[in-house]
Amino acid sequence: MNNNYKLPDFETCFRYSVAARRSFLSIINADYLVDEQKPELIIKESIERSYLCGDDPVRYSIVSNVEEIQSTDENLEDKTMLSISIIPNINTLSKEDQVKLVRKIHDIDRVNESAGQGRVHVIIGVIPWKFEDFRPKENKPRKSGLGGDNSILISNIKLDDWLTHKFWFACSGPNNLQSGSQTEHRASTPDSMSPAMSINSDTSSESESSESSGKIQLLNEVNSPYENVYMQSSIKRYILDVIVHLRMHRLSYHAKGGGAHMGALRDVIQLAKLISFNAGKKFVVPQSVKQASVWYFPMHMKLINDITMDSSTLYGSKPRLVNELLDKLKQIKSIKVEGVENPLFLESLVVQDVLLKVVPPI
């Protein structure tokens, strides 16, 4: 199976998110947890063990209440350069807490983007999942008739749209979560985007000494000048073409534009510039846009999972045929999710389909 159907690895996502000063989701396979391990503790220990920012360790906090999250300017006495807030099982947040978190992230983004701000605050939302969630129920018939159980097709990201779009993309768990699968996963990352590389190509001796001591220095990420990477107008139009095709795809939920929201253009441009910068380029190429799309869009996609969501029924499609289509999608997802260890497999499939159809600029 193409590696582009896998979730991005945690290490790459973390370092890119620090450079972009953005929050992200970590979708962790709970089947690999042993002795009742908590995913948020695994993330905390991975960051604590592997990274430094300047002379100080990365500050982290596991948040049990959204109100505990503070933006950097709320605590001016705290001089920590990089702060990480980890939210366990973010899917369980109430509607009220989701609204509060949207406001918190908005405040944090405003501080992160402010001129002259040397500190970064990143929020990591944790979403656990299991293989059994995508296996057909034994007590259910294989073919779902009209109104059958389509729960397999529902995304495992249960957040409201306005909160989901505050996180820029989703990744797998840290490499220390498992051995065999994550080793293969890391190998799937292109060499030019390897987590072991610095976002800044001008690696300082301080950074090298940090990495030689067993910890990766994040100062380059915090001060990354990736925004200086040039993007031609034709590349921007290419991204817009991809967004339009995603919104109009046969499997997209058209009432919500397939999940390609109004901030998608800005986010993909930002991610494509980071990918190009990390590859040593001074301009964005179509391949960087494709990689950015593969990483970014699956988390945001809204696909049909019920006959009432399919707009073709308004133009004469037979309900029976639509249900047969949904049943085939369930069978495919149930098989493939386990193979690529990605609960967003169908969303990734749609993105890949669009990228094959949209012609990039020459």
**Nearest 5 degrees, angle CA 258-CA 232-CA 228?**
100
What the block records as the tokens of 277 is: 């910068």
Does 351 reside within a domain?
yes
- Distance of alpha carbon 320 from alpha carbon 325, whole angstroms: 9
pLDDT recorded at residue 216: 73
pTM for the full predicted model: 0.85
Residue 362 CB contacts under 8 Å (≥ 6 apart), including other chains:
none
User: 35's torsion region: left (phi>0), alpha (psi -120 to 50) or beta?
Assistant: left
- Distance of alpha carbon 310 from alpha carbon 305, whole angstroms: 8
Q: Which residues of the chain have pLDDT under 50?
A: 76, 115-116, 142-146, 179-197, 201-212
pLDDT tens column, 138-191 = 555 544 444 567 889 999 999 999 999 999 999 999 976 654 344 444 434 444
Question: Sheet harboring 23-29: ordered strands across?
Answer: 59-62, 82-87, 120-129, 23-29, 167-171
The CATH number covering residue 338 comes to 3.40.50
Does 291 reside within a domain?
yes
Does 181 reside within a domain?
yes
**Pick from 93, 37, 34: nearest CA to 63:** 93
Q: In three state form, how does the secondary structure of 167-198 look?
A: EEEEECCCHHHCCHHHHHHHHCCCHHHCCCCC
Does 276 reside within a domain?
yes
Does 271 reside within a domain?
yes
pLDDT recorded at residue 197: 44
Which residues make beta-bridge pairs with 56?
53
Does 106 reside within a domain?
yes
Contact 152, 137 (CB under 8 A): no
pLDDT recorded at residue 314: 85
- Distance of alpha carbon 15 from alpha carbon 196, whole angstroms: 10
Q: Which domain holds residue 289?
A: 3-357
Does 246 reside within a domain?
yes
Q: Indicate the helix (H) or strand (E) that contains 115.
A: none
Task: Please give the tally of structural domains in the chain.
Answer: 1
Which DSSP string corresponds to 147-168?
T---GGGS-S--S-HHHHTTEE
- Judged by DSSP in three states, 359 sits in coil
**Nearest 5 degrees, angle CA 133-CA 137-CA 139?**
155
Does 362 reside within a domain?
no
